[in-house]
Amino acid sequence: MQQPKNRKLVLESGEVFEGYGFGANTEKVLELVFNTSMVGYQEIVSDPSYTDQAVVMTYPLIGNYGVNEDDYETQTPSIGALVVREYNDEPSNFRASDNLQNIMKKYGISGIYGVDTRAITRIIRNRGSLKSLITFIDKPLSECMEILERTALPKDAVSRVSSTGIWKADIITPQSALLEHRQGTHAGLRPHIVAIDCGMKQNILRSLLERGCRVTVVPYNTPAKVIMSLRPNGVFISNGPGDPMDVPECIDTIRSIKGNVPIFGICLGHQILSLAYGAKTYKLKFGHRGGNHPVKDILTDKIEITSQNHSYAVDTDSIEGTKLKVTHINLLDNTVEGVACDEDLAFSVQYHPESAPGPQDSSYLFDRFMDNVRKAREQRKENAYA
């Protein structure tokens, strides 16, 4: 016998969707967005970029392959909630070490299933991202609407997911060890990358380590003077949640660093780099979230299938007059997906090359960063003997 519905999702526009609760039994006001990925719910739940958001999964069945210890993007997930059509609490997968609900309960993540996710997605697509409330079935609608009206979405998401101190990720992976063996290098000669953590995904860190880097991770608000004192061969700006204008400290840091060391930014890092060069950003109607967005690399004329997760984009017209040039465009809506300043060996992309879309379409971007790092090291060596 079907249990009675016990949870509901209330949108600021007045729609109500009744369903069943799973995960944490909490009430939250969150920004409602949708993701079109068919797989990868563990990576989505553990992606810090989803902080304070309720994510509607357009793929109807979630939870069927469980979760495992290897696929987390952060060890402390901060997503607000998950909204799904059908939830499976009995996963079938040899890699599964737990089910999704237990992880959501552990980290205070609300969930609701049994709702019409197609209808919710259409509402978001037509009206844009909305404030929403996941609450209990018996709470009066008038009270729900009052909560939504008086509750503002937080602006401090990056500060809550960034590292609290400077730490080293100098782990030699099998790939980097093989690279050292082939090149005859050792740890002291491996390129040193300072990664500015705005909510960095673990697979970004793995991608840098696999290319033989030593990585020092610093908080989002680390001053340029401190970063340069670490003597980096390159600086990486990570992904993260929210509006890039909410982290002016990081923008100022990049503004001071650019031209002194190669820079690579992903997602929020792309927006921060663009702002540092004088471009502007704006909020998209409903954002880009999914694993199948086509992006054209203007430099090579190739099209990549990309993984995306962002609410903001760089204004195309604002790039004119800066030192940046557009390198990638989104073929769905012609938004800017990549910029570069060749003179400063700085570039960034709006999408996630570490998320294995394609699955290898975009991994060359990390190699491009390493090429810039090697080029800068060679130039410094030449200048030292000049």
Helix (H) or strand (E) holding 369, with range, is helix 364-385
Name the amino acid, one letter, at 324. L
Count of C-beta atoms within a 10 Å radius of residue 331: 14
- Asked if 262 and 369 touch (Cβ cutoff 8 Å), the reply is yes
d(CA 154, CA 19) in angstroms, rounded, equals: 26
CB burial of residue 339 (10 Å; 0-12, 13-18, 19+): buried
Q: Mind telling me the catalytic residues?
A: 267, 352, 354
H/E stretch holding 379: helix 364-385
Q: In the 8-state DSSP scheme, what is residue 343? A: G
| Secondary structure of 280-323 as H, E, C letters | CEEEEEEEEEEEEEEEEECCCCEEEEEEEEEEEEECHHHHCCCC
Work out the angle between the directed axes of helices 268-276 and 248-257 (0-180°, nearest 10).
60
| 206-241: burial string, b at 16+ Cβ within 10 Å, e else | ebbbbbbbbbbbbbbbbebeebbeeebbbbbbbbbb
Q: Is 358 exposed, middle or buried (0-12, 13-18, 19+ CB in 10 A)?
A: middle
- 173 - beta bridge partners? none
Count other C-beta atoms under 10 Å from residue 318's C-beta. 18
Strand ranges in the chain using DSSP code E only, listed in sequence order: 7-11, 16-23, 28-35, 53-57, 61-62, 81-84, 86-87, 110-113, 130-136, 167-168, 192-197, 214-219, 234-237, 263-266, 281-297, 302-314, 325-330, 336-341, 346-349
Distance of CA 265 to the CA centre of its chain: 11
